[in-house]
Structure 1
Amino acid sequence: MKKLKIFDLINGAALIVFSLLIVFPFIILINQSFMSNETIMSEGYTLFPKEIVFHAYNYLLVENAFIYKGLFVSVFITSVGTLFCLCFTCSLAFGLSKKHLPYRKFITIVVLITMFFSGGLIPNYLLITAMGLKDSLLSLIVPVLISPWYMFLIRNFFMEIPHEIEESAQMDGATEYYILWKIVVPISLPAIATIGLFYMVWHWNSWFPASIYLDSQSKFPLQLVLKQIISNLDVSDKGESTETLDRIMRLPEESVKAAATLITSLPIVCVYPFIQKYFVKGIVVGSIKG
């Protein structure tokens, strides 16, 4: 019993230290976003800044008001993209979970190949252009409707559901669509919520496809807008007026980067607590069912 208590104390202390190591960089990031150039130069990274200023947030949220349009675009792409990804992923996974599906093995192999081999950037660009999706928000959603890895995870989860449940529904006249969306999906909600969180984070953080497929700045997502704002801090090659150059040069570049990181992270951090219970349950169920 005494050995067990000692182990619990050591284990608890190790977990506390590990948690602090994880939280520490975020505290530094938050403090840095409220620091001035002089403070950063004199104190560097610190937990307790002597002076708190809002120059970085004023530059991002007030002087660059078009950031809110980028926020709206990111919210739209993330919500609509995640919804469509889950619908298509669950539909394909449900079909491939049926052993009686014609050409099931062939389709599975085709999907599996896409996990290891990609067509490349140029073929994807030519395909998006040929489909008429260039400079459209659909170019950020359609090419990633199904992730093979997530599809196989959901398929394996569907295959673990007892067939007697579906057979009972079929005897009552239920169609395959009804079985999928009214029976299978509610049962698999923890696993689907887990995959949905991964899709959501991917869509929210994605900026490179937008920089390739989008031409109109009004359609840029938040991440790409912030990237351009931070790039504007480099004025070495810009023909701006002396007053503008002086104002930009006084901006704390590192603070702007830290504030931009916090702005892009905050929405996901706010959403996560609402789906945490499904996320944890999905991981536990997945570990049991293999």
Structure 2
Amino acid sequence: MRRLEGSKIAIYLLLFAFTLTVLVPLLNLLALSFTAPGKAYLMSGLDLIPKGFSTLNYELLFSNPLITGGILNSVWITVAGTALNLALTSMAAYVLARNEFIGKKAVLFFLIVIMVFEPGMIPEYLLVKDIGLMNTLTSLILYKAVNVYYLFILMRFFQDIPEEILEAARIDGAGHFRMYTRILMPLSKPGLATLGLFYGVYHWNEYFRATLYISEPSKWPLQVVLRQFVVRKDNTSLIGSQNLFDSSIPFDFASLQAGTIIIAIVPLLVLYPFILKYYAKGALEGGVKD
């Protein structure tokens, strides 16, 4: 028992150390974002308390239409894209996992080929251009509406549901749509929550294709704005030579960068605890009586 307790303590200490390596930089950015103008140079990489508390950085960020517009664009892309992803992926998983039809093996083989050999950027760009989706948020929402790898994951969840439950539903007169909506979907909440988190994080962090397909700054998602401001250190709105922030108001460029990063991170941190409750075991316990 002592050896077991000692190993647990060592594991907990190791996990705590890994947690600190992630948490300390995040808390430092948060403190830097609330640091008063003119005092950002006093902050070091391990400081967790602002040097003179001030909300000016967030007031400047939320007063800028490029930032607020980017937040709204990212929210719309994430919500609409994730909903479409889950709907199409779950329907395809139901058809492939719980039904037999002619050509099923050929379809599965085709999906595996798509997963292994993805099309290149040039054919994808030409397709988006030909169907008239350039400079639209729809091009980002429709991209990878069904991820084949996630499709196979959800198929495993559907296949794990006992056949006796579906057979009982068929005896009661349930059709495919009712079994899909009333049985498979509720019993697969952990899998749907997992894929929803994966799809949502992907859409929220999307910036590469947005830079290719969207040219109007007013349609940029938040990650593109973040890249222009933080990575490229571009203090212009890229609309002519207009400054991104009012130069008459004193501010620290580093503090504004930190505030922009925090704004981009917080929604995912807030969403995660609500999804975590669906990671529950034993959802099928008691569903089948032998």
- TM-score normalised by length of structure 1: 0.84
What residue in structure 1 maps to residue 277 of structure 2? 277
CA RMSD between the two structures:
3.1
Unpaired stretches in structure 1, ≥5 consecutive residues: 286-290
> What is the one-letter code of the residue matched to 2:107?
I
Q: Distance in 2 between matches of 1:15 and 1:131?
A: 49
What residue in structure 2 maps to residue 200 of structure 1? 200
Q: CA deviation at 1:266?
A: 1.0
Q: Distance in 2 between matches of 1:245 and 1:79?
A: 29
What per-residue deviation string (whole Å, max 9, x for no partner) do you get for residues 80-112 of structure 1? 111110010011111111462221111111111
| Residue 41 to residue 232, structure 1, CA distance change in 2 (3 Å) | closer
Of residues 158-167 and 28-37 in structure 1, the stretch that sits farther from structure 2 once superposed is 28-37
Q: Distance in 1 between matches of 2:77 and 2:239?
A: 32
Contact 2:60-2:245 within 8 A present in 1 as well? no
Q: Distance in 1 between matches of 2:247 and 2:98?
A: 64
What residue in structure 1 maps to residue 52 of structure 2? 51
| Residue 3 to residue 56, structure 1, CA distance change in 2 (3 Å) | same
Contact 1:33-1:56 within 8 A present in 2 as well? yes
What residue in structure 2 maps to residue 213 of structure 1? 213
Q: CA deviation at 1:163?
A: 1.6
What residue in structure 1 maps to residue 130 of structure 2? 130
Contact 2:57-2:251 within 8 A present in 1 as well? yes
Q: Distance in 2 between matches of 1:193 and 1:70?
A: 25
For the residue of structure 1 that corresponds to 2:224, the secondary structure is: helix
After TM superposition, the structure 1 = structure 2 runs for residues 1-290 of structure 1, keeping only pairs within 5 Å, are 1-35=1-35, 39-47=39-47, 48-62=49-63, 64-98=64-98, 100-230=100-230, 231=232, 233=234, 247=247, 251-278=251-278, 280-281=279-280
Contact 1:31-1:46 within 8 A present in 2 as well? no
What per-residue deviation string (whole Å, max 9, x for no partner) do you get for residues 51-102 of structure 1? 344453233222x134222222211111111111001001111111146222
Contact 2:229-2:257 within 8 A present in 1 as well? no
Q: CA deviation at 1:39?
A: 4.0
Contact 2:30-2:259 within 8 A present in 1 as well? yes
| Residue 3 to residue 229, structure 1, CA distance change in 2 (3 Å) | closer
Of residues 260-269 and 224-233 in structure 1, the stretch that sits farther from structure 2 once superposed is 224-233
Q: Distance in 1 between matches of 2:244 and 2:224?
A: 23
For the residue of structure 1 that corresponds to 2:124, the secondary structure is: helix
Contact 2:98-2:158 within 8 A present in 1 as well? no
Q: Distance in 2 between matches of 1:245 and 1:191?
A: 43
> What is the one-letter code of the residue matched to 1:276?
L
- Kindly, what percent of the aligned residue pairs are identical? 32
Q: Distance in 1 between matches of 2:32 and 2:204?
A: 23
Q: CA deviation at 1:17?
A: 2.8
Contact 1:78-1:203 within 8 A present in 2 as well? yes
For the residue of structure 1 that corresponds to 2:52, the secondary structure is: coil
Q: Distance in 2 between matches of 1:87 and 1:229?
A: 35
Q: Distance in 1 between matches of 2:88 and 2:216?
A: 28
Q: Distance in 2 between matches of 1:169 and 1:5?
A: 48
For the residue of structure 1 that corresponds to 2:202, the secondary structure is: helix
Q: Distance in 1 between matches of 2:83 and 2:244?
A: 43
Contact 1:33-1:256 within 8 A present in 2 as well? yes
Q: CA deviation at 1:256?
A: 2.2
For the residue of structure 1 that corresponds to 2:280, the secondary structure is: helix
What per-residue deviation string (whole Å, max 9, x for no partner) do you get for residues 134-170 of structure 1? 2222111112210111100001111121222222222
| Residue 117 to residue 252, structure 1, CA distance change in 2 (3 Å) | farther
What per-residue deviation string (whole Å, max 9, x for no partner) do you get for residues 218-264 of structure 1? 322222233344456457x99859x9999399743332222111101
